[in-house]
A and B are shown apart, each in its own frame.
Chain A
Amino acid sequence: MSQKPDKQPDPAEAFRNLITEWERGFDTMANRIMGTEEFSRGMNQLQDLQLSMQKRFNEAMAEQLANFNMPSRDDILRLGESIRALDQRMAKVESQLAKQAQKKKQKKKQTAAAADPSRPPRTKLPPSARKEQANG
C-alpha cells in the first residue's frame, strides 16, 4: 500500500523557498538597475576618481623617494621585469632542450624500451572498442 502524502507544511522548506524567492527578486531588481548606462557611467566615474587619487599619491611618493636617493616602486618593478625577461630566456632554452629530449624519448618508445614501470600502461580502450574486441 502506498504511503499517505504528507500534508503538514514543512517550515524549513518554506523558509528555503522564501530565501530563494528573495535572492531571485533582489538579483533581478539589482541587475535591472546595474544594467543601465547611467549605472555603468557612475560606477566608472567613481573608479576613475579613486585611480586619479592613487596616481597622484604614487607620483608624490616617487618624488619623495627620489629626494632621499632611494628607488621607487617603479624602479623595483623594472628590476623585477628584467629578472623575468632573463627567466623567459631561460625558459626558451629549457623548451629547446625539452623538445630534443622529447624526440629522443619518442624514438626510445618506438623501440619499446622507454616504458616506465612505475606508470600504468597506456593501453586503455574506450567501452565501444572493448565491445568490438569482445564481439571479435
Chain B
Amino acid sequence: MAEPDVSPDLIKRARKMVDRAIQRNVKGLEFLTGPPAPVGLTPKDVIYERGTLRLYHYHPLADEVYRTPLLIVMATTNKAYVFDLAPGQSMVEYLLKQGFDVYVIDWEPPLPEERGLSLADYTQDFLPSCVERVLEDSGEPDLSIVGYCMGGVLSLIYAASHADGPLANLACITTPVDWSEMGLSAIWSDEKHFDVDRLVDTLGVVPKDFVTASFEMLRPAQKTAGQVRVWEQMWNDDFVASYRAFDRWGAETLPLAGEYFRDTIKELMWGNKLYKGKLKVGGKSAKLKDITVPVFAAMAEHDHIVSYAASKPLLELVGSEDKEEVVLKGGHVSLIAGPNAARRMWPRLADWLGERSI
C-alpha cells in the first residue's frame, strides 16, 4: 500500500505542537504550584520609613555617577517593584547602569489609623521629607524627580507648591492633568451618583479590592485573555516569567488612605483644580504655571487608565521653557516596564535626565 504524501514541513509543525502541548502540561504544573515570582532584586537600602512611606536608595552599578541624584515617586495604588521587575527587565537597574544615583519612594498599604492621611500629607510632608533625606544622603543641593501616574501628580503638586525648592528636573510618566478626560473613571465617580463621603466615612481606608476592581473594570476581558495567552505560551519560559512578575504586581494593588482618596475625587476628579490652576493643598497654592524647572512628559497612545487626552495638557500648563514631550505606542504600564519601555522609554528618559544632571 502506498504511503500518504505528507510534507516534511507539516510533520515538523505537528511535532512542534505535540512538544509544546507536553511542555504546557509539565510547566503548567510548575506554574500553578510554584512560589510567587521573585521581584525587586536590585540591591537597595531602606533609608527612611514612616507609616505607609518607604524611601529606598539603590546601590550604584556604575564607576561614576551623575552629580544630581534621582528620586522616583511611585503611584500610591501599586508597589514600586514594577520599576525593578527582574534583572535585565528593570528600569532602576538600567538607570543605575547609566550612571544615576537612584532613590525610590514606595508605599506600603496604609493602616486603618492612617485613614486620615490627606493629599496634603503626601505632597507637603512625605515628599518634602524624602527630598530632604535624598539631599542629606547624597550631599547634593538639588535633585531630579520622576513621577509615575499618581506619583507624577504628587510630584507636580510638590513642584508647584515648592517652586523655590531644590528640584532641578521633573519627569512625569503617564500623569493625569486634565481629570475631565479620565474616561470611564470620570463617569463612574460622577458627583451625581458617587457618594465619596459615605465611602470614606464608612470604610476609613479604601479597600484594595475596590481599587483593583476599578482598574480591572476598565478592561474586563484583559485578565481572562492574559490567562489564556499564558497557557498557550506555557512552553516559553521568558514569556511565563514576565507574565508572572506582571501578574504578581497587578494582584498587589494597594488600599488607599480615605482622606487622600476623598481629596483626589473632590479636588482633582470633580474640581479638576490642578488643570484649572485652582488647587490648594495644605494651605499652599499648587499652580502648574509656577513650575519653571525642565519638564519631561511621557505618555502612552493607548493608555486605558490615564488617557492621552488627560496627560497631554501638562506641557502647555507648566511655566518651564525647557520641556519635552514623548508619546509612545503602548499602554499605561508599557512605558515603565516590558520590552517597549526598555527599547524606547528608558533610553529617552536617561538621555534627557543625563543632559541635565551635571
Set of chain B residues within 8 Å of A51, measured between Cβ atoms: 195, 198-199, 202-203
In the bound complex, do residue A124 and residue B112 qualify as a contact, i.e. CB atoms below 8 Å apart? no
Check B136 for interface membership: any CB of A closer than 8 A: yes
In the bound complex, do residue A48 and residue B217 qualify as a contact, i.e. CB atoms below 8 Å apart? no
In the bound complex, do residue A12 and residue B229 qualify as a contact, i.e. CB atoms below 8 Å apart? no
| Binary contact track B96-107/A, C-beta < 8 Å → 1, others 0 | 000101000000
Check B18 for interface membership: any CB of A closer than 8 A: no
Q: How far is the CB of A121 from chain B (nearest CB, A)?
A: 6
**CB < 8 Å neighbour of A41 from B184, B193, B358:** B193
Q: How far is the CB of A78 from chain B (nearest CB, A)?
A: 8
**CB < 8 Å neighbour of B194 from A44, A81, A122:** A44
Choose among B125, B204, B220 the residue with the greatest number of A CB atoms under 10 Å from its CB: B220
In the bound complex, do residue A80 and residue B195 qualify as a contact, i.e. CB atoms below 8 Å apart? no
The count of chain B contact residues (Cβ–Cβ below 8 Å) is 63
**CB < 8 Å neighbour of A122 from B67, B190, B228:** B67
| Binary contact track A31-71/B, C-beta < 8 Å → 1, others 0 | 10011010011011101100100110010000000000000
Question: Which residue of the partner chain A has the closest CB to B117?
Answer: A84
In the bound complex, do residue A48 and residue B198 qualify as a contact, i.e. CB atoms below 8 Å apart? yes
In the bound complex, do residue B129 and residue A122 qualify as a contact, i.e. CB atoms below 8 Å apart? no
In the bound complex, do residue B184 and residue A106 qualify as a contact, i.e. CB atoms below 8 Å apart? no
Set of chain A residues within 8 Å of B228, measured between Cβ atoms: 19
In the bound complex, do residue A31 and residue B184 qualify as a contact, i.e. CB atoms below 8 Å apart? yes
In the bound complex, do residue A47 and residue B17 qualify as a contact, i.e. CB atoms below 8 Å apart? no
**CB < 8 Å neighbour of A27 from B64, B192, B222:** B222
| Binary contact track A95-124/B, C-beta < 8 Å → 1, others 0 | 100110110011011000010100111111
Choose among B64, B113, B115, B232 the residue with the greatest number of A CB atoms under 10 Å from its CB: B113
Check B355 for interface membership: any CB of A closer than 8 A: yes
Set of chain A residues within 8 Å of B111, measured between Cβ atoms: 80
Check B10 for interface membership: any CB of A closer than 8 A: yes
Set of chain B residues within 8 Å of A73, measured between Cβ atoms: 112
**CB < 8 Å neighbour of B355 from A80, A101, A126:** A126
Set of chain A residues within 8 Å of B139, measured between Cβ atoms: 102, 105-106, 108-109, 114, 116
In the bound complex, do residue A35 and residue B60 qualify as a contact, i.e. CB atoms below 8 Å apart? no
Q: How far is the CB of A27 from chain B (nearest CB, A)?
A: 5
Q: How far is the CA of A41 from the CA of B139 in the complex (A)?
A: 54
Given contacts A16-B232, A81-B113, A124-B66, contact A26 B195 (CB under 8 A): no
Check B339 for interface membership: any CB of A closer than 8 A: no
**CB < 8 Å neighbour of A48 from B13, B50, B195:** B195
Task: Please give me the 6 A-B residue pairs with the lowest Cβ-Cβ distance, nearest first.
Answer: A80-B113, A23-B225, A26-B221, A126-B354, A44-B193, A124-B99
Chain A positions near chain B (C-beta within 8 angstroms): 6, 8, 10-12, 15-16, 19-20, 22-23, 26-27, 30-31, 34-35, 37, 40-41, 43-45, 47-48, 51, 54-55, 58, 73, 77, 79-81, 83-84, 87-88, 91, 95, 98-99, 101-102, 105-106, 108-109, 114, 116, 119-129
20 sample A-B contacts, Cβ–Cβ < 8 Å, listed by A number: A8-B13, A11-B17, A23-B225, A34-B184, A35-B184, A40-B190, A40-B193, A41-B192, A43-B188, A48-B195, A51-B203, A84-B114, A87-B50, A98-B132, A102-B135, A120-B64, A122-B140, A124-B67, A124-B99, A129-B358
